[in-house]
A and B are shown apart, each in its own frame.
Chain A
Amino acid sequence: MKTVLGYYKKYIPVVILIGLFLFGNAMCELALPGYMADIIDNGVIKGDMSHIRATGLIMILIAAGSSVASIIASLLASRTAAGAARAIRKDLFEKVTAFSTAELQQFSTASLITRSTNDVQMIQQATTMMLRMAFFAPIMGFGAVIKALQTSVPLSWTVAVALGMVLVIMGISFFLIFPKFKVLQSKLDRVNLIMKERLAGILVVRAFGTEKKEEKRFDIANMDVTGINKFVNKAMAFMLPSLTFIMSGVGILIVWVGAHMVEANELLVGDMLAYLQYAMHVIMSFLFITMIFLMIPRAAVSAGRIGAVLDVEPSIEDPAKPERIDSPKGLLEFRDVAFKYPDGEVNAIEDISFTAKPGEFTAIIGGTGSGKSSLINLITRFYDVTEGQILLDGKDIRSISLTQLRDEIGLVPQKGVLFSGTIADNLRYGREDATDEELMEAIRIAQAEDFVSEKPEGIYTQIAQGGTNVSGGQKQRLSIARALVKKPLIYIFDDSFSALDFKTDKALRKALSENVKDSTFLIVAQRINTILDADQILVMDEGRLVGKGTHSELMQSCDVYREIALSQLSEAELERR
């Protein structure tokens, strides 16, 4: 909240200016009923036509002044709200971009997206509203009260009574109706959740013949939401006419009480009419003020959520004085590495030491939760080691700049992530200046040539956001090609082959070993087939390295490895190797 408020500091002079213009606006509006009273009392009743004309002219000028002031205030308010929102949005985006994986996990990607989009939008809307209403309503209300008091002090109790009643109604709705809005939202979420589940599971539902059951489940949620919706709608249907009733009712009071005062010469008729209008202004302003109070908590929630992101510092940053590796070779060494997730109680991996050499395939295999992906994430510094060190060409990776480190690495993640743009745009992610020929070469090695050339626009085919117009296997192959275009020293394949069928997997590995000779390869795999030929296989189990060697060595020495191998291939097949 505080962090977000900070963005408005530089707007303070503008905000004061807006206040002044709105003040002028309100004063002009409030002056009009007084002139009307003047027309009635000194013009109509006395029969002075020229007085009416002169007063009318003044009124037009005042009305024009009121509008001009209001327009200027709007202009300033719009610019302020949009400007602050732009600054907040920019900083949020840069902050999140700078975050390391740990912070991303902490907030969750979905939540960060909401915070950067909906929440900022909410703040912008709230700011505009606040700048106009939050100033205008109190000024108007206060001014109207002053005017009313100036016109007649004894009449004022009528307005006080009306305000009291408005307060009671608002109070009731605040405590009875508004909490229900929250309930309504959660019930709606429930309806939508069930709907989504059913859509996703349409095959299963039909296969198990549980249509009736699902329909009933939905029906219960539907009835729930209908019930609460009826309550909320009815409550609102009661509240709004009641407020109108109070506002009109106060008119009756004023005329009745006013009539007595007019007779006693304590009040002019025109003033009584002006008073009626002041009373309306007072009550309307009061309503607006309560609406603002309803808006503040929502905006505050958004501001809090945004502030929470801005206040977090990325845990992984460049060293103060980064060293440089002058002619990098791609020799990667893990030295007694241990790593614990920020919220973890035990180490995700520990005691990991190995060396991956240029020109060699290093494969990592092991069960879920055995720490394969954790190990991989340390190399790109998505997370930092908690003990030991990782060395690139003999230098601790924490001592060189993130940019240099990541420049040397070609990562192919578990899930093929592509961005909107053409296939060529995506492939050039790692190297802007790659030629079309180089792109085609990478596509060939990645076994993506078939489907890319099938497309009429080839590498200039547009990829939809989220890569929804290519299949999982195609995405995977394109993200392999993307890493190849970069020509890095170290390739990391994080379980990237599992979305491919055996045949493609095989062809891809063959093409890789033929075409990319001097790089260091790290391959996380599930399928034993994928890694049979690796120069070095690391077997992970429960965060520890339980085996290291080639396939035939490990078949002899490592039980975990044998178990995995035998579950996938028969003895005969293993012997054929």
Chain B
Amino acid sequence: MAEMKQQRQAPGSRPKANARPGGPAGKMMPGEKAGDFKKTMKTLIRYLAVYKIRLIIVFLFTIGSTLFSVISPTILGSATDVVVKGLLSGGMDYGALLYILMILLALYVATLLFGVVQGWLMADISQNVIYTLREKMSDKLDRLPLKYFDTMTHGEIQSRMINDIETVNQSLSASLTQMITSFITIVGILVMMIRISLIMTAMAVLVIPLSMLVIRVVVARSQGYFKNQQAFLGSVNGHVEEMYTGHDIIKAFNREDESEKVFNEYNDKLYESAWKSQFLSSLMMPLTGFIGNLSYVAVCLLGGFLAIKGTISIGNIQAFIQYVRSFNHPIQQVANVVNQLQSTAAAAERIFELIEAEEEVGIGQEPEQEVELEDVKGHVYFDHVSFGYKEDEPVLKDFSFHAYPGQTVAIVGPTGAGKTTLVKLLMRFYEINKGAIYVDGYDITKLSRENLRSMFGMVLQETWLNNSSIRENIRYGCPEATDEEVEAAGKAAYIDHFVRALPQGYDMPINEEATNLSQGQKQLITIARAILSDAPIMILDEATSSVDTRTEVMIQQAMDNLTKGRTSFVIAHRLSTIRNADHILVMDHGNIVEQGSHEELLAADGFYANLYNSQFAES
């Protein structure tokens, strides 16, 4: 159903109608401004410059087609003059008329051809630039240090990749040529009008400041309403979103009436600002139309007067009327384009900021002495490591410990204690400030990231699966695995049974939000994925809060299968895991506060002992 498809649209990919909220508002409101307009435009031009020759053709053709369309009314006018002369003299000069009309036809055809060629070239250029920008952003995603994602939300990054790109896209395909067209049209028409009659031109031009003034006043007045409309639309939408998502709570707390009261308030305000802004913006047409009509009448009057005196011809009056009629349009357009260029610059600036952001240390350059570690035993050594997410807030201070091949290291601590920090350092998602981390005696900064990360398998709390089949998801880390290997991993992760019960078994596609699998099933699939990767060192997060108890048993067993014979780091929640671990790291508020074995830590009677005993103290 078409309906269903529309609903699925992601928030970023708003339907076209809403791309410019409020219809005409988008055109009238000056968009946000770029921090450094010049620099951004220079960068954008660099991207365009790749297509130099094509761009020059586009410019020439645009100029050509605009000039042709500016000249043609005069020629049509001279055709009329031939007719008038024929009428007055009693003998129509068809030869001359046909000659003029043929020239006109040629001009029209040329305008058409130039326009089409120009449009085609521009479509290629703009789409290629957009393609390049998208691709650069895509590559960038994998080169940015994780730190970057801490300072910016996914929403912000998404908005750059979706909305900002769309803004630049629209502007590249239209504004650029519109700018040229409008400018040439204005100058061209002025020249043509002056050629016909200076007095009449002076009069027609006098009207321009008048209509500019009207536009200014209307825009200024309506802008306030448009802003209000956007604001209240925001309030209404925000309220709707909040209340619909919290529907159960609203009901359980009998808050329906209050919620409706708030909604009605916003809705009424929205109504007021909506009709006012709508009305004010629609005032523009009749008002400028009236001014246009005034100059139309003036041209008729003055032209008629001059024609009686014999200074100008009827054909000239006709041409002049056409010019006056088409004069307002490009002026308005220039104003639009200027606005649009500004929001384009703002969007482009954000895009370039992402593309030019600082990359992860050492990407693109080979480490001085690259070692390819093969046949990893799994000995991990943290040697006096210091680290902080922010310069002045150290999280680890002079931290050292060994994890020997095959050992299990449990990381424990209350919620929000920063238990994933160690893991992130180990895989070099972040750079440490002091000290070094060794795997099998090799400093990890001396290894290529690819090599380093291939040593680890991991199962995180957030089960990330992508929109492809279950089989493809399990095979994610090692694309060369055979179907048999995939299914063997499935068996080891206890998913074989339920997967086979699914409609297409291992080939069932996981849907966009992965809602066709339960949380536990997803977790098991990520375990299968890790099993298949057969990495010598495993990183596991035991947090399985939203998983039912029976699945939890399976997950537990699957994780045991996974850690067997491997060095493993477990972010532990289960006491049995903690107790059986060879080494326990106790974390609190981002720091490692204690380390040792279960017995040692109990004996120390510190933070860990407190944590452990709180489980079993009598209430």
Q: Which residues of B contact A498 (CB under 8 A)?
A: 545-546
Which of B131-139, B396-404, B488-496 is the interface stretch?
A: B131-139
Smallest CB–CB gap between A490 and chain B, Å?
Answer: 11
Which of B281-289, B364-372, B439-447, B560-568 is the interface stretch?
A: B281-289
Q: Which residues of B (9-36) have their CB < 8 Å from a CB of A?
A: 9-10, 12-18, 23
Q: How far is the CA of A272 from the CA of B87 in the complex (A)?
A: 13
Q: Which residues of A contact B149 (CB under 8 A)?
A: 202
Q: How far is the CA of A158 from the CA of B141 in the complex (A)?
A: 59
Smallest CB–CB gap between A185 and chain B, Å?
Answer: 7
Pairwise interchain contact B290-A259, C-beta atoms closer than 8 A: no
Pairwise interchain contact A59-B300, C-beta atoms closer than 8 A: yes
Q: Does B101 contact A (CB under 8 A)?
A: yes
Tell me the nearest residue of chain B to A255, going by C-beta.
Answer: B79
Which of A205, A256, A301 contacts B3 (CB under 8 A)? A301
Pairwise interchain contact A526-B244, C-beta atoms closer than 8 A: no
Which of A140-148, A236-244, A435-443 is the interface stretch?
A: A236-244
Tell me the nearest residue of chain B to A40, going by C-beta.
Answer: B314
Q: How far is the CA of A124 from the CA of B270 in the complex (A)?
A: 12
Which of B107-115, B327-335, B589-597 is the interface stretch?
A: B107-115
Assuming A113-B241, A192-B13, A206-B453, is B274 touching A93 (CB within 8 A)? no
* Highest count of chain A CB atoms <10 Å: which of B119, B161, B249, B259: B249
Q: Which residues of B contact A526 (CB under 8 A)?
A: 545, 547-549, 552
Which of A259, A365, A419, A504 contacts B92 (CB under 8 A)? A259
Q: How far is the CA of A298 from the CA of B334 in the complex (A)?
A: 30
- A374-410 near B? 1/0 per residue, CB < 8 Å: 0000001010000000000000000000110011010
Which of B240, B278, B415 contacts A81 (CB under 8 A)? B278
Which of A330-338, A350-358, A515-523, A567-575 is the interface stretch?
A: A567-575
Which of A25, A59, A81, A252 contacts B297 (CB under 8 A)? A59
Q: Which residues of A contact B127 (CB under 8 A)?
A: 226, 229-230, 233
Q: Does B550 contact A (CB under 8 A)?
A: yes
Q: Which residues of A contact B16 (CB under 8 A)?
A: 181, 185
Pairwise interchain contact A66-B94, C-beta atoms closer than 8 A: no
Q: Which residues of B contact A43 (CB under 8 A)?
A: 304, 308
Smallest CB–CB gap between A428 and chain B, Å?
Answer: 10
Q: Does B42 contact A (CB under 8 A)?
A: no
Q: Which residues of B contact A86 (CB under 8 A)?
A: 267-268, 270-271, 274
Which of B112, B119, B158, B449 contacts A234 (CB under 8 A)? B119
Q: Does B501 contact A (CB under 8 A)?
A: no
Pairwise interchain contact B13-A251, C-beta atoms closer than 8 A: no
Q: How far is the CA of A238 from the CA of B122 in the complex (A)?
A: 12
Q: Which residues of B contact A510 (CB under 8 A)?
A: 619
Q: Which residues of A contact B82 (CB under 8 A)?
A: 259
Q: Which residues of B (75-95) have their CB < 8 Å from a CB of A?
A: 76, 79-80, 82-84, 86-88, 92, 94
Assuming A211-B142, A369-B548, is B253 touching A430 (CB within 8 A)? yes
Q: How far is the CA of A67 from the CA of B317 in the complex (A)?
A: 24
Pairwise interchain contact A249-B290, C-beta atoms closer than 8 A: no
- A418-437 near B? 1/0 per residue, CB < 8 Å: 01100000000110000000
Pairwise interchain contact A193-B10, C-beta atoms closer than 8 A: yes
- A104-115 near B? 1/0 per residue, CB < 8 Å: 100011111110
Q: How far is the CA of A339 from the CA of B429 in the complex (A)?
A: 49
Q: How far is the CA of A351 from the CA of B233 in the complex (A)?
A: 49
Q: Which residues of B contact A101 (CB under 8 A)?
A: 247-248
Pairwise interchain contact B283-A263, C-beta atoms closer than 8 A: no
Assuming A81-B275, A500-B415, is B307 touching A44 (CB within 8 A)? yes
Smallest CB–CB gap between A184 and chain B, Å?
Answer: 9
Q: Does A208 contact B (CB under 8 A)?
A: yes
Q: Which residues of A contact B546 (CB under 8 A)?
A: 414, 495, 498
* Highest count of chain A CB atoms <10 Å: which of B128, B449, B549, B550: B549
Pairwise interchain contact B314-A237, C-beta atoms closer than 8 A: no
Smallest CB–CB gap between B592 and chain A, Å?
Answer: 17
Q: Which residues of B contact A471 (CB under 8 A)?
A: 415-416
Smallest CB–CB gap between B434 and chain A, Å?
Answer: 23
Q: Which residues of B contact A219 (CB under 8 A)?
A: 135, 138
Contact-residue bracket for chain A = 35 or more
Q: Which residues of B contact A420 (CB under 8 A)?
A: 238, 242
Smallest CB–CB gap between B203 and chain A, Å?
Answer: 13
Q: How far is the CA of A74 from the CA of B549 in the complex (A)?
A: 64
Which of B88, B298, B576 contacts A570 (CB under 8 A)? B576
Q: How far is the CA of A140 from the CA of B162 in the complex (A)?
A: 41
Q: Which residues of A contact B109 (CB under 8 A)?
A: 245
Assuming A85-B274, A248-B72, A500-B415, is B550 touching A564 (CB within 8 A)? yes
Q: Which residues of B contact A71 (CB under 8 A)?
A: 283, 286-287
Q: Does A8 contact B (CB under 8 A)?
A: no
Tell me the nearest residue of chain A to B544, going by C-beta.
Answer: A526
Pairwise interchain contact B83-A258, C-beta atoms closer than 8 A: yes
Pairwise interchain contact A411-B467, C-beta atoms closer than 8 A: no
Q: Does B611 contact A (CB under 8 A)?
A: yes
Q: Which residues of A (490-530) have their CB < 8 Å from a CB of B?
A: 495, 498-504, 506-507, 509-510, 513, 526, 528-529
Smallest CB–CB gap between A528 and chain B, Å?
Answer: 8
Q: Which residues of A (65-117) have their CB < 8 Å from a CB of B?
A: 66-68, 70-71, 74-75, 77-79, 81-83, 85-86, 89-90, 93-94, 96-101, 104, 108-114, 116-117
Tell me the nearest residue of chain B to A79, going by C-beta.
Answer: B275
Smallest CB–CB gap between B551 and chain A, Å?
Answer: 6
Q: Which residues of B contact A90 (CB under 8 A)?
A: 263-264, 267
Assuming A204-B460, A259-B92, is B414 touching A501 (CB within 8 A)? yes
Pairwise interchain contact B548-A368, C-beta atoms closer than 8 A: yes
Q: Does A36 contact B (CB under 8 A)?
A: yes
Q: Does A188 contact B (CB under 8 A)?
A: yes
Q: How far is the CA of A477 from the CA of B76 in the complex (A)?
A: 80
Pairwise interchain contact B429-A206, C-beta atoms closer than 8 A: yes
Pairwise interchain contact B249-A263, C-beta atoms closer than 8 A: no
Q: Which residues of A (154-213) have their CB < 8 Å from a CB of B?
A: 181, 185-186, 188-189, 191-211, 213
* Highest count of chain B CB atoms <10 Å: which of A122, A203, A218, A234: A203
Q: Does A366 contact B (CB under 8 A)?
A: yes
Q: How far is the CA of A70 from the CA of B274 in the complex (A)?
A: 19
Which of A52, A111, A502 contacts B615 (CB under 8 A)? A502
Q: Which residues of A contact B76 (CB under 8 A)?
A: 251-252, 255
Q: Does A328 contact B (CB under 8 A)?
A: no
Pairwise interchain contact A215-B549, C-beta atoms closer than 8 A: no
Q: Which residues of A (478-498) have their CB < 8 Å from a CB of B?
A: 479, 482, 486, 495, 498
Pairwise interchain contact B254-A407, C-beta atoms closer than 8 A: yes
Q: Does A4 contact B (CB under 8 A)?
A: no
Which of A44, A121, A215 contacts B138 (CB under 8 A)? A215
Tell me the nearest residue of chain B to A514, going by C-beta.
Answer: B619
Pairwise interchain contact B297-A56, C-beta atoms closer than 8 A: yes
Q: Does A413 contact B (CB under 8 A)?
A: yes
Q: Does B386 contact A (CB under 8 A)?
A: no
Q: Does A281 contact B (CB under 8 A)?
A: no
Q: Which residues of A contact B298 (CB under 8 A)?
A: 56
Pairwise interchain contact A52-B305, C-beta atoms closer than 8 A: yes
Q: Does B38 contact A (CB under 8 A)?
A: no
Which of B3, B130, B275, B615 contacts A78 (CB under 8 A)? B275
Q: Which residues of A contact B251 (CB under 8 A)?
A: 100, 380, 382, 402, 406
List 19 other contacts, CB 8 Å, given A82-B271, A305-B3, A533-B619: A43-B308, A49-B304, A52-B308, A56-B304, A90-B263, A93-B243, A93-B263, A117-B236, A125-B17, A206-B449, A207-B456, A219-B135, A308-B3, A368-B548, A406-B254, A420-B242, A503-B414, A510-B619, A567-B552
List 22 A–B pairs whose Cβ atoms lie within 8 Å, in order of A's numbering.
Answer: A44-B314, A47-B308, A59-B300, A63-B296, A67-B290, A74-B282, A86-B271, A93-B263, A117-B233, A192-B12, A192-B162, A197-B467, A201-B464, A204-B464, A244-B112, A245-B108, A252-B76, A255-B76, A486-B253, A502-B615, A503-B615, A570-B576
Nearest 5 Cβ contacts at the A-B interface:
A237-B119, A368-B548, A241-B115, A63-B293, A233-B123
